[in-house]
């Protein structure tokens, strides 16, 4: 004899995941890369001239710490992101990792300010009375890595925020 189908027990409600997800950890990895990039060359200055028929050239690099105060602030923002992710890991609250977007955005702003100051310095060096030298000023590899890493921190932190909101509803 057929028995009527029994009602299946209701699915348990979705629980909020504890801690941070892989996106928050990716934000921490990007912040670590951002911190390392401050020690790499942020600016390269090359000066060359022809002297007695021979080319003489000199090149100088400066890291984010030596070139400008924005490098120090960028390092501070990287450490802040790492602290926020550590707080998220220790408390189990993913919102700390999601709030890392704020220092990430400040780091992006620092990179842009550095580039504007670099352009002003380049205009000042090349527009001066010294014309015997060919001077070129360009951002170094560390600046490019810092910009990409700070954009990645912002992106991963916002994605972590979206993941956290999606699991709440």
Q: How many structural domains are present in the chain?
A: 1
Give CA–CA dist 19/164, Å, rounded.
Answer: 10
Residue 55 forms part of a structural domain: no
- Give the sheet arrangement for strand 41-51, strand by strand: 54-63, 41-51, 134-139
Residue 48 forms part of a structural domain: no
**Domain span at residue 164?**
22-41+62-168
Residue 15 forms part of a structural domain: no
Q: Is 122 exposed, middle or buried (0-12, 13-18, 19+ CB in 10 A)?
A: middle
Report the pLDDT value the prediction gives residue 48, as an integer from 0 to 100: 79
Residue 14 forms part of a structural domain: no
Residue 125 forms part of a structural domain: yes
Residue 9 forms part of a structural domain: no
CB atoms under 10 Å from CB of 4, counted, come to 5
pTM above 0.75, yes or no: yes
Mean pLDDT per 10-residue interval, the chain, length 169 residues = 58 53 89 95 83 74 84 95 91 83 95 91 69 79 96 92 71
Answer yes or no: are the C-beta atoms of 149 and 108 closer than 8 Å. Answer: no
Residue 68 forms part of a structural domain: yes
Report the pLDDT value the prediction gives residue 13, as an integer from 0 to 100: 46
Residue 57 forms part of a structural domain: no
Report the pLDDT value the prediction gives residue 161, as an integer from 0 to 100: 83
């Amino acid at each position: 004899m057929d028995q009527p189908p029994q009602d299946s027990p209701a699915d348990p409600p979705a629980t909020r995941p504890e801690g941070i997800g892989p996106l928050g950890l990716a934000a921490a990895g990007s912040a670590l890369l951002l911190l390392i990039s401050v020690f790499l060359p942020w600016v390269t200055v090359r000066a060359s001239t022809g002297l007695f028929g021979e080319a003489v050239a000199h090149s100088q690099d400066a890291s984010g710490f030596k070139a400008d105060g924005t490098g120090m602030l960028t390092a501070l923002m990287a450490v802040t992101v790492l602290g926020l992710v550590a707080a998220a890991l220790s408390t189990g609250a993913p919102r700390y990792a999601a709030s890392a977007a704020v220092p990430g955005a400040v780091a992006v702003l620092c990179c842009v300010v550095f580039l504007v100051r670099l352009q002003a310095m380049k205009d000042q060096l090349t527009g001066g009375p010294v014309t015997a030298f060919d001077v070129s000023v360009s951002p170094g590899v560390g600046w490019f890595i810092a910009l990409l890493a700070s954009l990645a921190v912002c992106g991963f932190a916002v994605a972590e925020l979206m993941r956290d909101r999606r699991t709440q509803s």
